[in-house]
Amino acid sequence: MNKYNVKCLLCGEVQEPYSLACSQGDDSLLRTYYSAEQLEPTDMPGIWRYYNWLPVEGIIEEGSGRTITYKSEKLASALGLDDLWIAFNGYWPEKDAYLMTCTFKDLESFPTMQRLMEQDEKRIMVVASAGNTARAFTHACSITGQPLLLVVPEGSAHKIWSIHEDDRSVFLVTVKGDYFDAISLAGKVAARDGFVNEGGAKNVARRDGMGTVMLDAVLTAGGLPDHYFQAVGSGTGGIAAWEASMRLADDGRFGEHLPKLHLGQSLPCAPLYSLWKGTDEVDAACPEGIYDNVLFNRKPPFAVKGGVKDALEATGGDVYAVSRQEAADAQQLFEDSEGIDLIPAAAVAVAGLIQAVKAGNVKPDERIVLNITGGGQKRLAEDYELRQLPVFLSVSADDEDAEDKVIAAIMEKISA
């Protein structure tokens, strides 16, 4: 029996295992279905502990970490909660947390990279990012040697650092524009010969990798939570948590009720909040003024079959809009309470939890999982040198020849 198959959620047809879209052209995400109906952790390192529910046929052992879940005491006490579990994704050696880019995007990059290796892919992988995803794929590609083109907004270049000395396989291109502009350029380049798109939210490896946050939390806490909190940009992490929850419910040992998804976004640039609440369009100046621009995606996978809207409706979830001051206060509270630094995006999740507590959306005795999507960067800097990736090329989003310039520059570098 195959380890897994991949199906379209609209037509139900089984697709090729490495597909990113339905062969019939349906406007739907694909979803993985595993032959192992129950979650059985392995003794493999890092994320590969959940190998049986990852769409891969091998592992990349070096550099792989995983989520570390623990029961909160001080933050829980400050919020008046009795059963708060923190799913920490980052670097915190005192808790055996070793995600070396300080973000849960590592959970996406390693399964995605493993699947590329299974296909013997030699083309240059193209990744668009506002920061965290770029770091994660830089980490994975520096280990495997897979050539990588990163396309990021100019304002995010400072976030692209690495602990590796050899990053010659990585080309960092900045775009004078926002994340959507980076996505647009990356898509154009990826469609050309010699390049391959990693797939974003359409890639089941990325979603199932992020879904291991829920797997770890449930195994540690002993059952499915009542509520799940996470800050989101595209919302793909929320979709991943929902899909993992359904698998755990079908397992039969962890409860039957799906946790309510509570997704946080950062004002004034909160497209998912606007879509969910039916409010006005997001300001054209965005992501200016946002607490962390990794949380801004102008065109998230909201209404697509299997997307954010379906996940929220299926779980009775909600979306929160968090101000800069709320995020800053939440970050200070968490760091003072738990003793580890956060990346700004994670503070938005904490602020969303605070809003939910004040509104009475969660009860003190209910089980809550708070996904800290990134932390420990200051702690990592104590142990490693964080090397800023040099910008290979900078282009404008308004330049009609931008993709040709990027491709020509990379080909010239490779052939030199």
Q: What is the pLDDT of residues 223-259, one digit of tens each?
A: 999 999 999 999 999 999 999 999 999 999 999 999 9
- The answer to whether residue 416 scores a pLDDT higher than 80 is no
How far is the C-alpha of 298 from the C-alpha of 300, rounded, in Å? 6
Question: Chain-wide mean pLDDT for the chain?
Answer: 95
Q: What is the reported pLDDT for 85?
A: 98
How far is the C-alpha of 108 from the C-alpha of 139, rounded, in Å? 12
How far is the C-alpha of 230 from the C-alpha of 264, rounded, in Å? 6
- With a pLDDT cut of 70, the percent of the chain lying above it is 100
User: What average pLDDT does this structure show over 176-183?
Assistant: 87
User: What average pLDDT does this structure show over 195-199?
Assistant: 90
Q: Which residue has the higher pLDDT, 316 or 297?
A: 316
Q: What is the reported pLDDT for 293?
A: 87
Q: Looking at the chain, which residues constitute the CATH 3.40.50.1100 domain(s)? A: 68-103+204-380, 124-193+386-416
User: What average pLDDT does this structure show over 123-142?
Assistant: 93
Q: Which residue has the higher pLDDT, 415 or 105?
A: 105
Joined together, the tokens standing for residue 160 give 């692209």
Antiparallel, parallel or unpaired: β 124-128 and 195-197: parallel
For residue 353, the SS3 value is helix
> From the centroid of its chain, how far is CA 271?
17
User: What average pLDDT does this structure show over 151-168?
Assistant: 92
- Nearest residue to 151 (alpha-carbon basis) of 193, 116, 180: 180
For residue 263, the SS3 value is strand
Tokens 């520059």 locate to 409
Q: What is the reported pLDDT for 55?
A: 97
- The answer to whether residue 279 scores a pLDDT higher than 80 is yes
Antiparallel, parallel or unpaired: β 318-322 and 260-266: parallel
- The answer to whether residue 317 scores a pLDDT higher than 70 is yes
Q: Which CATH architecture has domain 124-193+386-416?
A: 3-Layer(aba) Sandwich (3.40)
Q: What is the reported pLDDT for 178?
A: 83
| pLDDT tens figures, 24-75 | 999 999 999 999 999 999 999 999 999 999 999 999 999 999 999 999 999 9
What would the CATH number be for the domain defined by 68-103+204-380?
3.40.50.1100
Q: What is the reported pLDDT for 281?
A: 67
Q: What is the reported pLDDT for 1?
A: 54
- The answer to whether residue 200 scores a pLDDT higher than 90 is no
Q: What is the reported pLDDT for 415?
A: 83
Q: What are phi and psi of 363, to 5 degrees?
A: -100, 150
Q: What is the reported pLDDT for 298?
A: 85
pTM value is 0.95
How far is the C-alpha of 132 from the C-alpha of 139, rounded, in Å? 11
